[in-house]
Amino acid sequence: MAFGQPSIEYKTTEQIRRMRKAGLVVSRALDAAQEAAVVGATTADIDAAFEAVLDAEGAKSNFKGYHGFPATVCVSVNEEVVHGIPGGKVLQDGDILSIDGGCSIDGWHGDSARGVIVGTPDPEDQRLSDVTEEAMWRGIAALANGSRVGDIGNAIDDYVSSVPGKPLGILEDYVGHGIGTAMHQAPDVLNYRTKHRGPKIRPGLCLAIEPMLVRGGIETKTLDDDWTVITTDGSRSCQWEHTVAVHERGIWVLTAEDGGVAKLAPLGVTPVALD
């Protein structure tokens, strides 16, 4: 602890390689979950698809049982922001989902989320998902180019604020986080601009960057299940997330199959593989 703040767990290159194994399993599990998100399927079907990949890979869900959470992934539908519990809810054409999941392998964690639209998208929902995803990549680029963790939130906020059309809200109650030997670690990674600069970015820092955007107001409330968070005005929400490592030669997106190469190239960032 320093000045009352939790200390940051900095990883060696070998430890980051171990996190990469977990990250790749999360990516493949999200692929399966996304494929299961079709009209007529239930949110439990999505959970089962994700869990099947983890079981096949010998990985452990880091969501199931976390503070009592009953499922392998969070599936948040439409006005549900985060922590939606999979169950019997049947997916309808045009639903927008945030599928958030993770796993650990040999004690090292990965965490990622995707926005998914079922069937025919509403153009404004597609815009919401596209902007949220791009905001995440802008935050990751800021991790590569910045000096402080606060630069990530600045980049996300600046991008979202610059997008033409109806303004989108950035949720402030839920933020990104450090990750490593636990799923949630210091530091917090804000998705909006503040005066707080945050800790210095240096090799060994591993972060889960996860902006959550809404089409309406940013006020939220938690349902009686004590997990599912919804927008109070009923507006639709979207989340995207990747786990990213800073190492001696650059950054590498641990939960992206290509390490983030394709999405970061247009932003002038070249991720560097660990090997």
Q: What is the pLDDT of residues 78-105, one digit of tens each?
A: 999 999 999 999 999 999 999 999 999 9
In a domain, 4, yes or no: no
Domain membership flag for residue 217: yes
Asked if 193 and 154 count as a contact pair (C-beta separation under 8 A), the reply is: yes
Q: In angstroms, rounded to a whole number, what is the distance separating the alpha carbons of residues 7 and 245?
A: 17
pLDDT recorded at residue 196: 86
Number of folded domains that form the chain: 1
214 neighbors 166 (Cβ within 8 angstroms): no
Longest dimension (CA), the chain: 52
Check the annotation: does 224 bind a ligand. no
How far apart, in whole angstroms, are the C-alpha atoms of residue 135 and residue 156?
A: 5
Task: Give the residue-averaged pLDDT of 4-32.
Answer: 94
80 labelled binding-site residue: no
**Is the residue at 272 inside a domain?**
no
Please say whether the beta carbons of 169 and 213 come within 8 A.
yes
Within-domain flag for 40: yes
State yes or no: 275 annotated in a binding site.
no
Q: What is the pTM of this model?
A: 0.96
Domain holding 59: CATH number?
Answer: 3.90.230.10
For residue 238, what pLDDT is reported? 98
N- to C-terminal Cα separation, the chain? 33
Residues 116-150: pLDDT tens digits?
Answer: 999 999 999 999 999 999 999 999 999 999 999 99
Assess if residue 275 is contained within a domain.
Answer: no
Is 196 marked as binding a ligand?
Answer: no
**241 assigned to a ligand binding site:** yes
Amino acid at site 150: G
Domain holding 82, by residue range, is 13-267
